[in-house]
Structure 1
């Protein structure tokens, strides 16, 4: 597989890097995190104008029909600047859900809204007792005429406070842990019966516990009772995008730590001249480049029609990025000393974000178990 970027991809990477470099620094990030919305509406509109939210949508739904590599390039640039806009939820998760699960009428209506940044999406699948499992669903969907009524609770729904639509998993048949019998629904976030308990997360984003009490969804996404397969396909895309974001953040930590090691002195010498520090920096570099290579290999491989192979490479990318994040984050903090975790220095903010990425949609232990199961099945 040729992993070299095309000229168009390199131009996209360069423009995304410049955009975030010009738009972000730690003081401006603090302002956006503290704002009512939790991010910059102006930047969000600019991202839509640049076409980033339309990359993964097919042309028939108002998008560009580009691949996961292009999305990964933007997510890496966003990770390097520690951006807080909901690119993942809307540009990746929302676009994938619409592409794979919406009928033509819904896609033609909602696609252009997503592309224009007028409709933001949040994924509500995790539950208080489900851990990371896609099939353990206590939220119910009871048939009511031609539609359904949803009741239940969803946990840690990132960017739910600012979302217009929720993608909700609910059980339409079977026992709470059966793989079949789960269906994905598109729900208006302002619907009667929805209540949210909002809170900030440690990495500066916003999330909510979402309660549903007799909520009527707008549409079914995909096939009834087969929502786990659609959800898995959505998360395949999300895992690669998160891995790319982690790679961007790790790259920043590596660059910052190398520069710090050149200037911080002990015993009248830069600490970067000490062999033990050099060894750590080399380990950090290896972790970043290994994760980057695995991420873009997975991004290119998401185009395969082999469902099992696609899920495996997505999990491998997420695991490698999560493992690398732990090493790079911890070593960055250690080399910077105690101030590495202070709020005044950006190192600690990056460390918090990559720590959260490693837990999002499955931690390393859970995803390694998933990989082992898929390997036995293949």
Structure 2
């Protein structure tokens, strides 16, 4: 199969790679991730100037109207640079939910500043007991007059600390695990009744637990139809998982390149360790893991919108989790003890891979989902 980039995709890839090469070194990344919000607002403004924030947003929403391949190209390059940014929570999750679910007036009032880099967003969906079940929601939105009263708590809200607006998944009807009865609301992240507890993940970026206490919301803040939020969540999460897998592939390729360069420079017994056959075999395994993952990523991108989309996505997330773990472990071992130190970039790439593996289901979870799809009915 030949997967050729369009002219626009090649330009997007080149501009992202050039930005990372010229302006986003590992040292810059380490400074950015230590900032109070976990990213640099000036860098985010540059993303807006380059048009990256508009890539997955529809033309009707004021964006580029990019498809899965466009997002893949961008996220793979961001992965290579280990860019610390809220692109996934703000653009892929919050922005996409608003794009497909909000009324026109609300959509433009939120997406215009988002694309301009002036608004931060997050998606509060996961709860302490949820594990990887997107429908496991206890947070309740109870009818009161013409609006709702929101009560409950969300865990591990990516970019929750810096977000200006939140999309919150709450139950308006049904039981805890029902896919029906879930509604989505856009709320002010700093409103009275919203309580945040921020913390850092192992990759250095910030998340937050957010508690809602008697928060009043109006019907105008509803995305889509009441009780029909799960279909929107599933669509946007699938797109986000694909973007995360592209980012992980960029990280895996970068780890492979870094390790190859190190083995050429590191000498043992008077010769570069890259000349040792057993280490050559291990580096070939790393390369093959990247190529296998790339092939399945391309297949999954091509399957979007087809009957094979779910099967391909589960297989991809499983393979990225498995191969990412292998590539990360090999990179650390071939660098020796210093591979896990904070001073070396290798360990930071590996930690980001570990976080990606846990988002929206780890490798074991997606392997089980794939097996369920593959079983004869």
Compute the TM-score of the two structures, normalised by the length of structure 1. Answer: 0.95
Instruction: Give runs of ≥4 in structure 1 deviating > 6 Å.
Output: none
Q: Are the counterparts in 1 of residues 320 and 363 from structure 2 also a CA contact under 8 Å?
A: no
Match of 2:201 in 1: 201
Distance in structure 2 (CA, Å) of the matches to 1:368 and 1:280: 25
Is residue 95–residue 121 contact of structure 2 (8 Å, CA) maintained in 1?
Answer: no
Deviation per residue, 1:26-72 (Å, 9 max, x gap): 22112111112221111100111111111111222111111121111
Show the counterpart of 1:11.
11
**Superposed, which structure 2 residues align to 1:153-172 within 5 Å?**
153-172=153-172
Q: How many angstroms does 1:376 deviate by?
A: 4.4
Equivalent in the alignment of 1:252: 254
Other-structure match for 2:350: 351
Distance 2:315 2:99 in 1: 24
> What residue is the counterpart of 1:291 in the other structure?
293
Q: Which residue of 2 aligns with 1:269?
A: 271
Q: Per the alignment, in what secondary structure is the counterpart of residue 99 of structure 1? A: helix
Question: Structure 2 matches for 1:47-86, cutoff 5 A?
Answer: 47-86=47-86
Instruction: Give the root-mean-square deviation of aligned CA atoms.
Output: 1.6
User: Which residue of 2 is the match for residue 44 of structure 1?
Assistant: 44
1:338 aligns with 2:340: no
- Map 1:232-251 onto structure 2 (within 5 A): 232-251=234-253
* TM-score (norm. length: structure 2): 0.95
Which residue number in structure 2 is paired with residue 94 of structure 1?
Answer: 94
The residue aligned with 1:361 is 360
Q: Is the 8 A contact 1:319 1:368 kept in 2?
A: yes
Deviation at 1:177, TM superposition (A): 1.3
Aligned residues: 375
Measure, in 2, the Cα distance between the counterparts of 1:259 and 1:91: 34
Unaligned ranges ≥5, structure 2: none
- The alignment partner of 1:157 has SS state of strand
- 2: CA distance, partners of 1:46 / 1:296: 28
Deviations 1:312-345 (A, max 9, x none): 3333322222221101000000100111001110
Tell me how far apart the structure 1 counterparts of residues 376 and 231 of structure 2 sit (CA, whole Å): 16
**Any idea what the Cα deviations from partners look like across 1:96-144, whole Å, max 9, x if unmatched?**
2122211222222222122111121111111011111011111111011
- Does structure 1 conserve the Cα–Cα contact (< 8 Å) formed by 2:259 and 2:335? yes
Separation in structure 1 between the aligned mates of residue 27 and residue 259 of structure 2, nearest angstrom:
20
Q: Is the 8 A contact 1:180 1:225 kept in 2?
A: yes
